[in-house]
Amino acid sequence: MQAGTKDVETGVELAGQAGEALRQIADAVQNVTDMVQHIATASEEQSTAGEEISSNIESVANVTKQTAAGAQQSSKASQDLSILAGELQSLVGRFKLQENGS
């Protein structure tokens, strides 16, 4: 009977150790789950930031294109104005004022 009691005590002790090991495993699994959640959250935040950066770069590219187009238009307008100024100077040069002999 003592041997049976000893076996039961050993079994109870082993069951307690197994229970403790399972608790530690469960805690480790929870820690890993928490880490995975943090990684997923950080990944999502980085993705959102990347999308914002991409959108801002696209906006800068559009403004640059508009600025270049405006500069070309200004250049063309300056050329046209120069031509018109030359034509005006030519036309003004054709006018002659009459001298009045009084």
Rounded-to-integer distance, Cα 78 and Cα 64, Å: 21
Buried b (16+ CB within 10 A) or exposed e, 9-22: eeeeeeeeeeeeee
Mean pLDDT in order along the chain per 10 residues (102 residues): 81 91 97 98 97 97 97 97 94 79 57
Report yes or no on whether pTM surpasses 0.85.
no
Helices (H) and strands (E) in the chain, counts: 1, 0
- Angle (CA) 19 24 27, round 5°: 125
